[in-house]
Structures are given as structure tokens and as C-alpha cells.
Amino acid sequence: MNLTVLIPSETLVDRPVAKVVAEAPNGFFCLLPRHVDFATAIVPGLLAYTTDTGEEIFWAVDDGILIKQADRIWVSTRNAVAGEDLDHLEEAVTQQFRQRDAEEEKAQQAMNKIQAGFVRRFLSIQAGA
């Protein structure tokens, strides 16, 4: 089988795999090469796959969609973080959340400055009228 993991900005994984394990709203499931074709929503959690050489790789994923058709599996999600093992994955997710929080805080500060400038200009226009 071939697994492709997509986020809006790029393709994160595109490789042959022997097995895929993911979580849908009704629980975890496993896909093997001759599994029936289907599509399902996936919930935030773990996506694991086993390579053809037997290596198990873990990804933390956000909400998304998984589609299996013939020997192809596509996963489309908003965010995904890879980890060498579960301990490293937890560290990577924590680091990404911290980075996202810092970026959101900067964006909020910029919005506050824009709003304050708009209010000042509006008040100066009103005062002049």
C-alpha cells in the first residue's frame, strides 16, 4: 500500500507502508493491504504506520479525512507532527503548541494596535466634524 499524508501547505508522507492505524470518531482501526475501500473522518490523536521494513512511525494529527482506495491511502488533516517514538512525539507536539501560541499572541498584539489606531482616527474625525 502507499500512504500519503497531506496538510494544507505540503505533502508530509508519500511512501509504501505495510499497515496503517488511525482513530475515527467511533474508535481505532487498522488498515492492511486487502482491506475494503472506505472513507472516514479521523479525530485528533495518533496515526501510526508500519513501513515495509517493519519500522513503526507515529504522527500526531488533527481532525481530518482518511480515504482508502485499492492500494492507496490518503490522509488529509490541518496539522500533523512526526515523532521518532511516542516520547519524542509528545515533545514535538508540545513545542509546536508553544510556537503556535507565541505566533497567535503576536497576531493578537498586531490586531490590538490596528484597532487602537482605527479608534484614534475615528475619534479625531468625529472631533473635527
Query: What does each C-alpha distance from 51 to 18, 85, 113 come to in angstroms?
Result: 5, 14, 50
Largest alpha-carbon pair distance within the chain? Answer: 76
pTM exceeds 0.85? no
Q: Which CATH superfamily is domain 2-83 in?
A: F0F1 ATP synthase delta/epsilon subunit, N-terminal (2.60.15.10)
* Number of residues assigned to the chain: 129
C-alpha to C-alpha distance for 36 and 32, rounded to whole angstroms: 9
The pLDDT value recorded for residue 15 is 96
The pLDDT value recorded for residue 95 is 74
The pLDDT value recorded for residue 66 is 98
User: What is the mean pLDDT of each successive set of 10 residues along the chain, which is 129 residues long?
Assistant: 95 96 95 94 92 91 94 94 72 73 85 90 81
The pLDDT value recorded for residue 84 is 63
The pLDDT value recorded for residue 85 is 67
β-pairing, 2-7 vs 45-51, is unpaired
The pLDDT value recorded for residue 104 is 83
The pLDDT value recorded for residue 22 is 96
